[in-house]
């Protein structure tokens, strides 16, 4: 190393996000929700602490990541791990915390309750379902990781069912997602019990899809003579739009 030459530490992903991406997002008149992932509790907390004093509206904690210290089992598959990571994040976070649940569990209600008792301000679900593809010509796994996350319309009925179960198991608000590609799809989630919806995969087909979905929901409400969207939240389990089950 020659004298006078500075040692440059490579910028971490969170450094680049804070310096480059946050100022870009803050130019727009919109709320900013940052999705946080980690492979250990410490990694989650590093990111949460780093974002504490940034102009970020909410944090969404993705607990579908493998926990390296527990042999790679995702945090989100064990209710005790969900409760403890929620508590740890809430102790450091300055923004409201949304816990994003994994659908790769037998009972989503237990996961939802664990996040609520850990202090979560809201829940979002579902993350991707674990899938696998075999390349039959090579007779081996199509994906280098062997398994991959299944998203899009195929998972929607599973997601609607889980949003219904989770939203009836807790008092905190639920954000529904999983295969939403139209206003009709989004309405199903609201009627199942979601207070808001989120769109992932459909953006790859149409980057303007969220605006179209919001417009379509407004048109539906107008056609039904409903003034406030909150009136339809959870109506499926509450007698339906016209008071019948």
Per-position x/- string for 203-242, each x denoting binding to ligand FMN as judged by CB under 6 A, each - no binding: ----------------------------------------
199 lines the binding site for ligand FMN (CB under 6 A): yes
Nearest-approach distance from CB 26 to ligand FMN, in angstroms: 20
Tell me: does residue 77 bind ligand FMN (CB under 6 A): no
What residues contact 189, with CB distance under 8 A and at least 6 apart?
A: 159, 160, 163, 176, 177, 180, 197
Do 72 and 40 touch, CB atoms closer than 8 A?
Answer: no
Among 77, 86, 128, 167, binds ligand FMN (CB under 6 A): 128
Q: How far apart, in whole angstroms, are the C-alpha atoms of residue 178 and residue 188? A: 11
With CB atoms as reference, the residue minimizing the distance to ligand FMN is 200
Interaction between residue 38 and ligand FMN (CB under 6 A): no
Give the integer Cα–Cα distance in Å for 49 and 60: 14
Among 86, 95, 127, 167, binds ligand FMN (CB under 6 A): 127
Residue closer to ligand FMN by CB (options 67, 127) is 127
Work out whether strand 174-176 and strand 122-125 pair parallel, antiparallel, or are unpaired. Answer: parallel
Q: Distance between CA 124 and CA 198 in Å, rounded?
A: 9
- Least CB distance to ligand FMN at residue 49 (A): 19
Owner of token pair 């680049």: 16
Phi, psi of 155 (to 5 degrees): -95, 0
Q: Catalytic residue among 37, 65, 208, 235, which?
A: 65
Known catalytic residue: 65? yes
CA distance 202 to 13: 26
Q: Which of 66, 96, 119, 152 lies at the binding interface for ligand FMN (CB under 6 A)?
A: 152
> Which residues in this chain contact ligand FMN in the complex, by CB under 6 A?
35, 37, 62, 100, 127-128, 149, 151-152, 155, 177-180, 199-202
């Amino acid at each position: 190393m020659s004298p006078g030459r500075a040692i440059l530490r490579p910028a971490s992903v969170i450094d680049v996000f804070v310096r480059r991406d946050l100022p870009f997002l803050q130019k727009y008149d919109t709320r900013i929700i940052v999705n946080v992932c980690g492979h250990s509790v410490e990694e989650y907390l590093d990111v949460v602490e780093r974002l504490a004093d940034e102009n970020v509206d909410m944090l969404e904690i993705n607990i579908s990541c493998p926990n390296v210290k527990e042999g790679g089992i995702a945090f989100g598959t064990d209710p005790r791990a969900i409760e403890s990571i929620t508590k740890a994040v809430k102790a450091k976070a300055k923004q409201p915390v949304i816990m994003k649940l994994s659908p790769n569990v037998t009972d989503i209600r237990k996961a939802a309750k664990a996040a609520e008792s850990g202090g979560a301000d809201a829940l979002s679900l579902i993350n991707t379902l674990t899938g696998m593809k075999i390349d039959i010509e090579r007779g081996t796994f199509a994906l280098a990781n062997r398994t991959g996350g299944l998203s899009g319309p195929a998972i929607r009925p599973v997601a609607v069912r889980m949003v219904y179960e989770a939203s009836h198991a807790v008092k905190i608000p639920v954000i529904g997602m999983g295969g939403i590609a139209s206003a009709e799809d989004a309405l199903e989630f609201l009627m199942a019990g979601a207070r808001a919806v989120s769109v992932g995969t459909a953006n790859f087909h149409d980057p303007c899809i969220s605006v179209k979905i919001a417009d379509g929901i407004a048109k539906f409400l107008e056609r039904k003579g409903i003034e406030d969207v909150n009136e339809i939240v959870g109506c499926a389990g509450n007698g339906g739009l016209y008071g019948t089950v």
